Chain A
Amino acid sequence: MNKPLVWMGQAVLYAALAAVILVFTRWPSYQNLPADSALIKLSISHQGKVLGDCVELTPEELAKLPPNMRAPVSCPRERSPLTVEIDVDGVLAYRQVAQPSGLSSDGAAVVYHRIEVPAGAHAIEVRMKDDARSEGFDYTRSETVTLAPAEILVVDFDAAERRIILL
């Protein structure tokens, strides 16, 4: 093939490559969230209450343990699962029972969920239960929030203050 044809052919192929790169580095634009929507991000990482009480061991029970393990009080480490429910405008939008992490189920339970809602005002109620031995929910929070398009509302739990927080 003669030189000019080679040059022209290569130019066409390079131009095609440039076009492909230019197009697919920006198009089609990705709609991460529908227009006029907002996002509720439910994200809680929390250690539930331990499942049982500490018990004092009898001398016989103590004697069965290896000498270096003879603590007079035995505390169970397993923790309660975490139950989280969220209502948006009076309708249950999400419910999750999260098991504690860790081999002995003594770690934090994690809840993470995205809820897309139309922008505007919404009545939100969040309920959380972290103690398997209690009746009903241990924490509740109701709030009416107004969300702008694309705004993110984070629902978290403040372990120090022991309350559900909306950020």
Chain B
Amino acid sequence: MYGGDEVSAIVMDVGTHSVKAGYAGQDTPSAVFSSSVGRGTGQLGGPSKDSDAEMKDADDPHDMKPKSIQNTNIFRKSPQDKDFFVVDSDNIRRDDVEYCSPFNADGVLDDLDAYEAICDHVFRGRLCVQTAEHPILLSEPVLTPEANREKIVELLFEKYKLPAVFLGKNPVLSCFASGKATGLSVDVGGRAATTCAVHEGYALVKSVIQSKALGGDCLTETTLRYMEEKMKNEVKPRYAFKKKLQTGGKNDGEFKIENLSFPKTSKSYNLLKRHQIAEDAKASVMRLSDVRLDLKNSEINQMPTVQYELPDGNTIEVGVERFIVPEIMFNPAIVDELKLKGPPVVDDMQNAMSLPAQVLASIQNADVDARKDLFGNVILTGGGTMFVNCKERLESAIFDHAPQNVKTKVTASQNAVERRFATWIGGSILASLGSFQQMWMSKAEYDEYGVSHIHKKCP
């Protein structure tokens, strides 16, 4: 149907933390940006020229008039609606804009307006394509309800006039990225850690287990709260201060911090920016210990502290806590040791399943004959697994609990890019296979059978 050589398919992976998009056949996505979308709440102005351009585009989505790059971050459905701002490399702080994720609390994509804004930004802002010419492969979480899938497919066919669409399940695509058709995919993403068994290229839907307490966002929030309690003050986001170089006098050459006040900035934007700082702290300071963390062991308590400098110049000294935060993935009850005040980041976090327990439970829910292959092919993906020692810890934990003669092996790419973008890379591989080209759901099938045909084509 669609020759894999002639027209490149687009592969798009909308995750809970970031959106990855690019062309099939390439080894990394060309567009990666945060999946938080801002929604204007007040009366946003802007010159009438820009709003005219937006209106015309709303009528004719695939008309490629040249637009200045600044406009593509702004999306407006119709003149009466509010603007949407996609958080890309623009670090522009705007008044009265609430930031939200297109995913709801359970990790299900149900905010279609925000999703539309993201699609617009990907197609017209970053990739600059005529959507009528490229089939698109989307990745989706395993437990997406049927109604949501239908809404997304309808949006793509009706608004963007795509020639063909395919919805691939996340665990299947991450297995393909490691070159395997069978395996247990362990994906630690932003919102949650998801384990799912994949057999011969099909996800075993009843083996999916999702845990919000082990997701990257939860650990970031824990890090943020820990830092703020230690400093007894809120972490200052970058827009809230400016550094002024002083000349002359005794402070010559040093920077002075001046606070800026923007009272109309929404709380969600403030939280988003503070999270970005905490993410950086988590990545540079926190690490997993080599063996199971035992706080009574005096060796751990004598480890030297590490300093982390925040953007506004304050420094934090982190001691044994740098091992506690990542240990939450293997022993969720340890979060109590941080003695954080206030409600827990995720409800009932202390009693959540640890990552190895989740892996074992997923395998138990799969077919008895398939289990041996699953133990030997545990595939670790997702940005949340980038802690040093993650693969070794998981391997030894599973080995302890696996049945006797079964070989256990955890596969994890050493390359940071490959691990973070494994789902996207799997989609890129799949969409460029010759044998895949018959699997697309085409526009003709959509017109003939309606949107519910997608469930037959992409079970």
| A and B are partners in one complex rather than unrelated chains | no
